[in-house]
Structures are given as structure tokens and as C-alpha cells.
Amino acid sequence: MAAAGLGWDVKLLDGLGYEDLEKLMGLDMLPHFQIPSRPVKGRFPDLEFEHPDCVLVVFPNGSGGFDVDYAKLSLAISEFSKLEWKGKPNVLSKEHICWDVIYKTAEAVKKDRALSERLLVEPFQSSGTCSEDSYEGFTVREVVRKRRSAVDMDGVTAMDRNTFYQILLHCLPSGSGGKQKRQLALPFRALSWDAEVHAALFVHRVKGLPAGLYFLVRNEDHFDELKKSMRSGFKWVKPEGCPEDLPLYELHRIDCGALAEKLSCHQEIASHGCFSLGMVACFEPLLQDKNVWMYPRLFWETGVLGQVLYLEAHAIGISATGIGCYFDDPVHELLGLKGSNFQSLYHFTVGGPVVDKRIMSLPAYPGPSVDA
């Protein structure tokens, strides 16, 4: 989003492998941590090693596609190992707890180099609009710099139905006017795969929309499988006033405040907002089709979707919070999902924040003219 505001585009260079990223960032020179066979507690300075995730290329918007020769790029990166490493990272903790399963998982999902992969830069697709007057008139810079996580929701603030629809239109990967699948709209276009993450929505306080369970289908190729995999009693009907190009479906009318709270580790913030949601991803079929390295990338996609929700909330004058603690099996039970074709990965809430006046807030980016 920041790049787009300055006239640039961004794409993930996903043809590079884990070893390439280690060499590029100088992390291959650090001691390798030996993963224990069980959780252990003690002093393990090597446990604080850095884990490289990805490299992004930033280029002028509208410049069209261009080729990346991953073989040559990888060869050039291999020369980085000959450079002298300057400095030594500080040890952050005096004592450590090593949860072995975390590091074993990180080891299992390392991505190999894909020299044949092509960098595809598709034309930009704008998001749909149905209620632009919902926004407060902030600039992109102001919205980005205002973005904070709410620590509590007031349980009172409500939003209009069209505002709710407008937020969800900006959560679609393909933009307006077409089938939802390819990630063409901002900021999803930075990702190199089709949309794999959907949203099960708990509507609490949206004026003109009955409280209940709704579902946003972000890849319409998954619609039939989702409908078949979920509870047979769900309605799967478009709610009243829903834009034609918004694949949002009402599943079940119910006061779901207590339910949303329970599913998010009994946190009131999940029930005291305007709406909350659980992100549900296509899982086992995707990992089998591509490889297990898609596992962390699914979380990247939930993170991008979460950032859109943060910015949308602040743009209309309220707030939001990601919820990392949730019960995935009860979410699956609620939806009727069995097996591992679909998996709950992340929760989120949007609503009116309760401001804790004991906490001092300073500008995140102070400068000559502070606009935060």
C-alpha cells in the first residue's frame, strides 16, 4: 500500500529458495541451532537465530512485465557468502524455552529454489465501491500512520450495512467486475499465488443486517467444495443490499456474540465489535498440489487480509485487532468442516475502540511535520 501510494508496484520473488535468502541476508554465517527432540528450558543463545522469509521487488507501477532469471540471481547471491560479516548480534534473553515443534515445522516448510518460476506482473485491478462516503477523508499516509491495534471494543458502536459491504469489497483479491481468484488488487497483488483464504464472519452490530454467521468467498473456484464441506443447513443466500460482485453469503441468523467470544479464547474483544471473523484457508489439497512450503504463505495471506481490515477500520474512524488466540477445532465444528481440506488460521475483530487514557501515544513516525 505504501509503495502504491508513491507510484510503485511490489511483487514477491518466490523463485528464490531458503538457502538463497540465507546467503542474501548473511544468515548462513551464523551458527545453526540443533533442534532438540522435546521442549527444553535453559540458556540457548543460538535459539535466537534469524529466519529469512522472502524478498520483494519494488518497481514502477505500469511498467509492464519483466523477466527475472532466477538462475543468474541465485548465482550472484551465492557470492555474498564471500563477504565479511560485520558485528555480532546481541543475545536478547538470559533464558530460553525451546518449543521443538515450532522449529521442526520451520525446518519442514523451507522452500527450494524454483529456477523455472516466472515473475508474472498482471494489470492492476481496482477494488469495487458501493459506499465511498463511509470514509472519513483521511489520506493514505494519515490512515497508515494512525493504524493501531485496539486493546478493547466498546460493545456499542455500530456500522451501516453499506459500510460493511464496502470494507469487504476491499478484501477481495481480484478487484471489481470479475470472478474472485487471482490476486490483482492492492495489496494482494504482491503475492504470487491465487487467493486461498476465506472469511467466516460473525456479524454483531451492522445496522440493516441481521446478526449471524456469514461467509466471504475470496476464491470462487472453492465455492462448491466449501458448500459441500460445510453444514447442510446453512442458507448460502446473498444478504439484502449486497453488491452483485461481492461473494458474501448469509449462512445462519443467530446472536453470535457469545459464540465468537468463546471461539477466540473467551476474549470479549471478539464479541464487542461491529463484526469479527475467522480466516479459513484451503489447506491439505493445496499443500499436496504445491508443497508444504505453502503453509507459512497461507499465514502471509491472512496477514495481508488483516492489514487491509486494519486500514479500512481506521479509514472509517474506528479500529481493529488481530486475534492470535482461537480454538480451531470448535471453529471447524461450527462450520461443519471435517478432515483437513480447510483449516482455520487466524481471527480478527473490527469495532469501536475503548481508549485506555493511561497509555501515552506518541507519533510512530515523528518528522519535520508530524501528521500522525
Shared-domain flag, residues 72 and 174: no
Question: Which stretches of 180-337 are assigned E, i.e. beta strand?
Answer: 197-203, 206-207, 212-216, 248-253, 275-282, 319-323
Per-residue pLDDT reduced to its tens digit, 314-352: 999 999 999 999 999 999 999 999 999 999 999 999 999
Confidence at 116, pLDDT banded by 50, 70, 90: confident
Query: Is the domain of 287 the same as that of 187?
Result: yes
370 pLDDT higher than 70: no
pLDDT of 62 reads 82
Q: Looking at the predicted structure, is the pLDDT value of residue 8 above 60?
A: yes
User: Does residue 186 sit in the same domain as residue 335?
Assistant: yes
Q: Within this chain, do residues 162 and 309 fall inside the same structural domain, yes or no?
A: yes
Q: How high is the pLDDT of residue 368?
A: 62
Cα 247 to Cα 245: distance, rounded to the nearest angstrom:
6
The verdict on 184 and 240 lying in the same domain is yes
pLDDT of residue 364: 67
The C-alpha atoms of residue 206 and residue 212 are separated, in whole angstroms, by 10
Does one domain contain both 142 and 285?
yes
Is 277 in the same domain as 159?
yes
pLDDT over 90 at 30, yes or no: no
- 356 within some domain: no
At 189, which CATH number? 3.40.109.10
Residue 75, domain member (yes or no): yes
Sign of CA dihedral 288, 291, 296, 302: negative
In this structure, the answer to whether residues 96 and 34 fall within a common structural domain is yes
Say what the alpha-carbon torsion angle 71, 74, 78, 84 is, to the nearest 10 degrees: 150
Q: What is the pLDDT of residue 18?
A: 95
The boundaries of the domain holding residue 61 are: 2-108
Please state the three-class secondary structure of 238-266 as a single string. Answer: CCCCCCCCCCEEEEEECCCHHHHHHHCCC
Q: Please report whether residue 227 resides in a domain.
A: yes
CA distances from 130 to 175, 182, 322 (A): 13, 21, 25
DSSP state of 35: -
β-pair partners for 149: 320
pLDDT digits (tens, 9 = 90+) for 264-300: 999 999 999 999 999 999 999 999 999 999 999 999 9
- Domain end (from 73, 108, 143): 108
Q: Which three cell numbers stand for residue 75?
A: 548465482
Q: Considering the domain boundaries, does residue 148 fall inside one?
A: yes
Indicate if 243 and 305 belong to the same structural domain: yes
Domain assignment present for 365:
no
Residue 113 domain-assigned (yes or no):
no
Q: Are residues 88 and 204 in the same domain?
A: no
List, in sequence order, the alpha helices (H) in 14-154: 18-24, 70-78, 100-108, 140-146
Residues 6+ apart with CB under 8 A from 133: none
124 inside domain? no
Task: Output phi, psi for 237, to 5 deg.
Answer: -120, 150
Do 137 and 101 have their domain in common?
Answer: no
Place of cell 493445496: 286
Q: Of 176, 163, 187, whose CA–CA distance to 303 is shortest? A: 187
Mean pLDDT of 204-212: 98
Residue 199 lies in a domain: yes
pLDDT value at 154 more than 70: yes
Given 76, 108, 140, the domain boundary residue is 108
Under the banding of pLDDT at 50, 70 and 90, the label for residue 40 is very high
The answer on 97 and 148 residing in a single domain is no
pLDDT at 372: 46
pLDDT, average across residues 83-101: 88
Q: How many domains does the chain have?
A: 2
The whole-number pLDDT of residue 365 equals: 67
Cα separation of 133 and 121, whole Å?
32
